Chain A
Amino acid sequence: MKRRTLLASGAAAATMATLGMPARAQDKTKVGFVYVGPTGDGGWTYEHDQARQKMEAHFDGAVETVFVESVPEGPDAERVMTQMVLAGADLIFTTSFGYMDPTLNVAAKFPDVKFEHATGFKRADNVSTYSARFYEGRAVQGHIAGSMTKTNKIGYIGSVPIPEVIRGINSAYLHAKKVNPDVEFKVIWIFEWLNPAKEADAATTLIEQGCDVILQHTDSTAPQAAAQEAGNVITFGQASDMAEYAPSPRVSSIIDNWTPYYIARTQAVIDGTWTSVDTWDGISTGMVEIGEITETVPAEIKAQAEALRDSIADGSYEPFTGPINKQDGSAWLGDGETADDGTLAGMNFYVEGITGDIPQ
């Protein structure tokens, strides 16, 4: 780490000095976005790009945005970021965990440019990190799922076993269990973020094994369609609202809404007030939105779910509040104790009651 940054920053400074830095004296603020998938993935990258467009519209001509899609994590990402800097970007959002080291490498070379890395944990003077507390939304889903299931079997389609996905499973399970002690979770990992056919197969499998609620941490609507075909199965939208499957099977959703954050951070750059921060927002700031709960959910359950959502939003309730044991029975959180962000950020264990193992 040290050797590389030292070499790189020293040499970069020399090069830039001799060849001249790009003109900074421009009236428009330029913001770059690096996407891991195509903007047409309908999920993760799609929502980031929607937020980019809304942010640009919000500033009404004062901000210019640029993006590059489907950038592989590695040297290509470093080049794309550098290219954006050379083209005059003042602020760059890198929207995948795998961009962590590339972002830091490029940021070290260009101390005047601000970087924002999504879902990572390494920061620098000009690198912020940001992520969303999707697990707060999972708590609401878990409540609805636990209340609505008749077979007491809930299926969960996991993408890649990283802490964010594991947090979601734990949060959903805890809140389903709270309203329905007999509830059982069946988890399938597909080891990909986007493979609609496999998601369809996974949903079908879960339904065939008796699940009547499907939660998904993958981006396509394939599970929604599978549930619709089966009938009597409810689902939740992921990343996007997936409202085309409302009112049933899709009964609610978690929507990634990056727009307020992108507007705020761009405004900070314009005002010259930008500093490196670690942002982890949830329902309260609107980064995590709960999509409309449809009439398929009985009014009483809907009211409870909305109350749960509001209590998380106003800070009166934390989804991970003890007593909670880990899967192996060892104590994690004592009575009334809440989880610290460090443990949550690196969560790699299931809570007590979930069967199966996290793939290693």
Chain B
Amino acid sequence: MDLSSINPILLLASLMVAATPILLAAIGELVVERSGVLNLGVEGMMITGAVCGFAVAVTTNSPWLGFLGAAVGGAVLSLLFGFLTQYLLSNQVATGLSLTLFGLGLSALLGQGYIGIKAPAFPDWHIPLLGDIPVIGPIIFQHDPIVYLGLILVGAVWWFLNKSRGGLILRAVGENHDAAHALGYKVVRVRMMAIAFGGACAGLGGAYLSLVRVPQWTEGMTAGAGWIALAIVVFASWKPARLMLGAYLFGGVTVLQLNLQAAGLAIPVEYLSMSPYIATIVVLVIMSAGRAPGSLGRIFHASR
């Protein structure tokens, strides 16, 4: 055992990278759930984003266009869910699970021609001045742009939900859709926008895997990341700031257990791997403030 071989600075830096795909998918799902919709299809949207992003990036040789394509791909798929649940009033749990099945199949078909190809390079940004600060620089300011995009999105969502009028409406719709409807808000329209945003974010998260983290297209490559994103939203009690904590906890446990293994420490990997899920349950119990949005998962139909 050689714990001294673990470099805490590098560990924290790689934690930021490991957490980014789940953070991106989770911030989107957070907005969806705050609008009162439970979309369990995150995994399907992520993998669709992964293949769309990869295909676009390889074809155009531009990672940036790839990410754009991934966001569009994820959003389009999520609108299918939105159409079914919001206009045809189908059950959200069943529709979300079906969306995952659909997305896995769709991505495998779309990706058939992209196996064994390299993605265009996507260099890190070494932010001048900030990146040179000892300790903090390498941890926070020497990553690829999407890491920052994830952080900016979290901030933007926080601002939107808490400081903007649009966020107020979205929360009202999520808490009590009948009351919101009575006040004249367009419940379905608000939710469709939230769902599309969630799909776009999940798509970005998937593309981060296929274009930066791995980078490669392989069938089923998200390997459950979408489900972790769902867990993080709950862990965060639907609050953007805590979402980051949750993403770093889940990402951190993975990175930490790999580091401990490499250092030669005999650890029961399974028990360490289940710990964030148990922590999520504990958080659910402890934080009474962490109440789910009032209308989460309920079907809205404006009766007249």
Q: Interface size bucket, A side?
A: 35 or more
Chain B residues 207-225 with CB under 8 Å of chain A are 209, 213-216, 218-223, 225
* Chain B residues near A98 (CB-CB < 8 A): none
The 8 Å CB contact of A208, one of B7, B108, B214, B254, is B7
Q: Kindly report which residue of chain A lies nearest to residue B208, judged by CB atoms.
A: A197
The answer to whether A205 and B7 have CB atoms under 8 Å apart is: no
Chain A residues with CB under 8 Å of B108's CB are: 38, 40
Among B14, B219, B223, B270, point to the contact of A40 (Cβ < 8 A).
Answer: B219
A196 to B111, CA, bound (A): 16
- Chain A residues near B255: list those with CB within 8 A: 201, 205
A8 to chain B: which residues have CB within 8 Å?
none
Give which listed residue, A155, A190, A192, A197, contacts B214 with CB less than 8 A. Answer: A197
Within 8 Å by CB of A189, from B11, B215, B269, lies: B269
Closest chain A residue, CB of each to CB of B273: A191
> Chain A interface secondary structure, helix, strand, loop or mixed?
mixed
A356–B263 Cα distance when bound, in Å, is 9
8 Å CB contact of A355 from B213, B218, B259, B264: B264
**How far does the alpha carbon of A155 sit from the alpha carbon of B264 in the complex, in Å?**
11
Q: Does the CB pair A196–B116 fall under 8 Å?
A: no
Q: Is the CB of A186 within 8 A of B264?
A: yes
Listed by A's residue number, 25 A-B pairs whose Cβ atoms lie within 8 Å are A37-B220, A38-B108, A40-B112, A40-B219, A41-B218, A41-B219, A155-B262, A186-B262, A191-B270, A196-B209, A196-B214, A197-B222, A198-B254, A198-B258, A199-B214, A205-B255, A208-B7, A211-B262, A221-B214, A222-B214, A240-B116, A244-B116, A355-B264, A357-B266, A359-B269
Q: Which residues of B contact A (CB under 8 A)?
A: 1, 5-7, 10-11, 14, 17-18, 21, 108, 111-112, 115-118, 209, 213-216, 218-223, 225, 254-255, 258-259, 261-264, 266, 269-270
Binding site for B on A (CB under 8 A): 37-38, 40-42, 46, 155, 186-192, 194-202, 204-206, 208-211, 219-222, 225, 240, 244-245, 355-357, 359
Q: A194-B220, A209-B6, A355-B1 are in contact. List 13 more A-B contacts (CB 8 A).
A: A37-B219, A38-B220, A186-B262, A189-B269, A191-B270, A195-B223, A196-B209, A196-B218, A200-B213, A208-B10, A211-B262, A221-B118, A222-B213
